[in-house]
Amino acid sequence: MSDLNAVTTAEAPGPAPDRPRRANRSLAGDAWADLRTSKVFWIAAALVVIVVLMAAWPSLFTSADPRDCLLGRKDAGASGGAIFGFDFQGCDVYAKTVYGARDSVLVALCATLIAGVIGVLVGLAAGYFGGWLDAVLSRFVDIMLGIPFLLGAIVLAKRLSSNPESNGVLAVIVTLGVLGWTTAARVMRSAVISAKGQDYVAAARMLGAGPGRLMFRHVLPNAISPVIVVLTILLGINIAGEATLSYLGVGLKGDAVSWGIAIAETGPYARTAAAPLVWPSVFLAATVLAFIMLGDAIRDAFDPRLR
Amino acid sequence: MPGKSPWKVAATATAVVLLAAGCSSGSSDDTEVLPNSISIGIAEPTSLVPSNSIETSGSQVLASLFYPLVRFDAKSNPYPVAAQSITHDKANRVWTIRLKPGFTFSNGEPVVADNYLDAWNYGAYGPNGQLASYFFQRIDGFADLQAKDPDDGGPEKAPEPKAKKLRGLKKVNNLTFTVTLTEGFAGWQSVMGYDAFFPLPKAAFSGDGVLNKDFGEAPIGNGPFKMKGTWQHDEKIVVEKVADFKGTIPKVSGITWKIYQDLGAQYADLVGGNLDIETKIPIENLASASSDLGTRLARTPSSSFSFVGFPMYDDKYKNPDVRRALSMAINRQEMTDQVFLGSEQPATSFVSPQVAGARPNSCGQWCEYNPTRAKQLYTAANGPRDIKISYNTDGGHKAWVDAMCNQIKASLAVNCTGVGLPKLKDLLAKVRAKEDVGLIRLGWAMDYPLMESYLGPLYTSDGSSNYYGYNNTTFDSLVRQGSAAPTVAQSQKLWNEAEDQLVRDMPVLPLRFGQNVFGYSEKVTDVTMDLFGKVDIYAVDIAG
């Protein structure tokens, strides 16, 4: 059973397959039983579902076009479907906020996938083979961690998005992906090290399994859950990262609609018209929080020490 | 761990240095404020050498250090200031300038004709690379001072120019000199009001035609103020009153030109009482400025002109009806009201109506908002379905380009996107390469208050800022005839005819004329700004 008070910052250790189990359940089954009773999980999951729906079918939420802007409606109050009013360009703030979810979630999802693939491969190789390869890869991870995130991201995103006519989606995905995999790699490595010492791995090796089969069939499935937790949290962080880069002018641009752009554009007018700044910020904060809470809840469920 | 301690020492040392730097920058102002002195915010000037100054911040500081040959009245007609008289021959070719006697530079040197000749020769000499040297190009012999690069930017070094001095400049006596132009130009007197025509003292030169390297750090001028210390880069420039100045005497005893990187920070200082005058209130603060400043927020016309150009190489915009339709699709008044909050005025002519001789509304029906007519015309002319507007992102243009696109979308039912490039030079490089950039965002501020200062550089086929490549021989010859006309009135008539040709061709869409939107503190009064965007340092006074 877990609730918010039980959330600790302890690093997730690998699963312990030889732990005495309740009634025939797998680790995932145990976790699911835990999650089902967690309020935090349900709140976070509901938010995530709403945001994902918004990203996939924005027309479910609004019939207005976010790019249909009329200066005559500048800073006008709520009317009809535009429940959040209009911004300084006369665009519907609600429609812009709903449509903003798509690029934000898409970017974060792709960036997290890239980070996940790199992180899992590096962590698996370092943890499984050990020795000099581990030393080299681990030091490389240390170096990557040494790069200040914002500095590295600004330099990289600026270089990648030099084409003025692109909307910057690809550049931000690559930037966040390339800079974000380090934690996943570290967690993966420690999980692999603990998993590969297990008896069933030794048994498989004695039966003649090669390193490829051992790694991907036996070690990886038993070491992946902490990485999934890390990646869920990273998803939230990447949404915030996209907004940050867009705010700084090196992220999404052109006719892309995103929360970061909306915040950057309306920020200077906050003293006279706060709503166009507040709503994208609220959606951004809620989405980031939802992913981080979800990650936390899943971690608590998978972490046997918290049971 | 060996080697740890030196790092610690270094880190501590850095911290101490940072701390010390942090302490020193804040408190320096309080100790050296002169009584009756004021502060005005500027950006870091590019140069304080008169012939190298082409932006407002430097020009503003130089206006306090130097006394010009002519200044301009409310109708932008020139009148002599440092000159006793300026006369010309019938063909407007040979101009005789008599200086007022008794003037001195702030180092005590008397101001004589040679000071002008030295300064102008220095400014015009090509290898000196002075940014404002193009002001001298009408003077006879200017071409001989320019080096011709034999391989056009290649590795081979350019030979020395043929001459070191302008053939057209002649000293008559100590206080008189003549200027001979290559061809007659009725407006030459107005041109001489610019910074590049300030005199330089003998002390500025270390040899014949060689300027002291650090002259620009503490220029010595013939104006009502002199430098106090040197230019403190990115921080401030302090000037104080010259004792018994012979010309118009300013009312304040000193000016601190405070240098800011950011208009927003400048505004915060103005409201906080740490700055007396901000010459440009940022748009973001305009909505709250009237409540922050009350009557201390003011507006005067400026010469700036914002427009978008149609690249002439792009066939999509070849039909004049397409250009007219786009012009009528834009609601200029709504844009200036809503995006610029009234800080700029809608432009319905190709030359600022503030300039002597220029007419307001010369663009007529084509610059009036008329979406129905625009749509008809556009459909009939089969205008492009996708429109791009390219702009540079470092100048705060995104908001109005987006608004303009939204207006075009709404009026013509076509697609419109703004394409941001980092700097204007990136945009111009694409235009030179004849790439598909769509409409080009551009702006202009006059060099001297003559219609020609808009017509010549912007629209003649060899104009320095005619980036879009407008080329019309009738127009070119009307502008040239206007420049050569015997009187200014005749010039203005011909220039107006030239502008009529622009109305027929619509090579650009006039959008807005600028205003100086400035604010000042309770400490000062009588703050006015001229068409060039400069504070009148002679009129400004301490309140109460």
A247-285 residue pLDDT tens: 888 888 777 888 988 888 888 778 778 888 999 999 999
Question: Does the structure show a pLDDT above 50 at B12?
Answer: no
Which CATH number do you get for residue B109?
Answer: 3.90.76.10
Distance from C-alpha of B491 to C-alpha of A167, rounded to nearest angstrom = 49
C-alpha dihedral over B227, B230, B232, B235, to 10 degrees?
A: -10
- Is the predicted ipTM greater than 0.85, yes or no? no
Mean pLDDT for A119-137 is: 92
Strand, coil or helix: B54: coil
Per DSSP bridges, beta strands B344-346 and B508-520 are: antiparallel
Distance from C-alpha of A31 to C-alpha of B361, rounded to nearest angstrom = 75
Q: Chain B within 8 Å of A249 (Cβ-Cβ)?
A: yes
Beta bridge partners of residue B516, listed in sequence order: B300
Q: Residue A269 is nearest to which of B284, B402, B410, comparing CB atoms?
A: B284
Which CATH number do you get for residue B332?
Answer: 3.10.105.10
Residues 6 or more apart whose CB falls under 8 angstroms from that of A228 comprise A298
B14-41 residue pLDDT tens: 444 444 433 433 334 444 556 789 999 9
Q: Which two tokens stand for residue A184?
A: 């996943």
Q: Residue A69 is nearest to which of B288, B406, B418, comparing CB atoms?
A: B406
Residues B431 and B316 in one domain: yes
Average pLDDT, chain B: 88
Smallest CA-to-CA distance from B458 within B418, B401, B509, B423 is with B509
Backbone angle region of B461, left / alpha / beta, with phi > 0 → left and psi within -120 to 50 → alpha: alpha
A29-67+91-306: CATH topology: MetI-like fold (1.10.3720)
Task: Give the gyration radius of chain A's Cα atoms.
Answer: 22
Residues B348 and B485 in one domain: yes
Residue B417: list chain A partners with CB under 8 A.
254-255
The domain boundary residue, chosen from B178, B203, B222:
B222
Residues B362 and B511 in one domain: yes
Output the pTM of the full model: 0.75
Question: Does the structure show a pLDDT above 60 at A182?
Answer: yes
Q: Residue A164 is nearest to which of B283, B287, B420, comparing CB atoms?
A: B420
Question: Does the structure show a pLDDT above 70 at A87?
Answer: yes
Question: Does the structure show a pLDDT above 50 at B42?
Answer: yes
Shortest Cα distance from B406 to chain A (angstroms)?
6
Q: For chain A, give every domain's residue range.
A: 29-67+91-306
Backbone angles phi, psi at B307, to 5 degrees: -155, 170
Amino acid at position B21, single letter: A
Shortest Cα distance from B439 to chain A (angstroms)?
14
Residue B426: list chain A partners with CB under 8 A.
164
Is the Cβ pair A165, B421 closer than 8 Å? Answer: no
Q: Which two tokens stand for residue B198?
A: 């300030």
Mean pLDDT for A18-36 is: 68
Is the Cβ pair B419, A255 closer than 8 Å? Answer: no
Smallest CA-to-CA distance from B56 within B518, B509, B483, B400 is with B518
B463 and B432 Cβ atoms separated by less than 8 Å: no
Smallest CA-to-CA distance from B62 within B542, B540, B537 is with B537
Q: Provide the domain count of chain B.
A: 2
Shortest Cα distance from B43 to chain A (angstroms)?
21
Give the nearest chain B residue to A158 (CA atoms).
B422
Residue B44 lies in a domain: no
Residues 6 or more apart whose CB falls under 8 angstroms from that of B294 comprise none
Residue B5 lies in a domain: no
Residue B261 lies in a domain: no
Is the Cβ pair A254, B410 closer than 8 Å? Answer: no
Distance from C-alpha of B15 to C-alpha of B21, rounded to nearest angstrom = 10
Residue B409 lies in a domain: yes
Q: Chain B within 8 Å of A268 (Cβ-Cβ)?
A: yes
What pLDDT is attached to residue B34? 67
State the best of A86, A89, A96, A266 to mutate against chain B, taking most chain B CBs within 10 Å.
Answer: A89
Amino acid at position B253, single letter: S
Shortest Cα distance from B264 to chain A (angstroms)?
10
Distance from C-alpha of B222 to C-alpha of B220, rounded to nearest angstrom = 7
User: What are the CB-based long-range contacts (under 8 Å, 24+) for A288-291?
Assistant: A288/A236, A288/A237, A288/A239, A288/A240, A289/A44, A289/A47, A289/A236, A290/A43, A290/A44, A290/A47, A290/A48, A290/A51, A290/A236, A291/A44, A291/A48, A291/A232, A291/A233, A291/A235, A291/A236, A291/A239
Distance, CA of A72 to chain centre: 39
Is the Cβ pair B399, A253 closer than 8 Å? Answer: no
Is the Cβ pair A88, B335 closer than 8 Å? Answer: no
Confidence class for position B440, pLDDT limits 50, 70, 90:
very high
Confidence class for position B506, pLDDT limits 50, 70, 90:
very high
Backbone angle region of B283, left / alpha / beta, with phi > 0 → left and psi within -120 to 50 → alpha: alpha
Residues B352 and B205 in one domain: no
Residues B329 and B460 in one domain: yes
Q: What percent of chain A has pLDDT over 70?
A: 90
What is the span of the domain harbouring residue B162? 68-222
B446-464 residue pLDDT tens: 888 899 999 988 999 888 8
Q: Element (H or E) spanning B237, and its range?
A: strand B236-241
Q: Residue B335 is nearest to which of A69, A71, A253, comparing CB atoms?
A: A71
Question: Does the structure show a pLDDT above 70 at B7?
Answer: no
- Please state which of the ranges A30-34, B142-146, B366-370 shows the lowest mean pLDDT: A30-34
Question: Helix crossing, A93-129 with A275-302: angle to 10°?
Answer: 30
Q: Which two tokens stand for residue B326?
A: 């786009």
Q: Which two tokens stand for residue A31?
A: 């976790």
Shortest Cα distance from B356 to chain A (angstroms)?
34
Question: Does the structure show a pLDDT above 90 at A80?
Answer: no
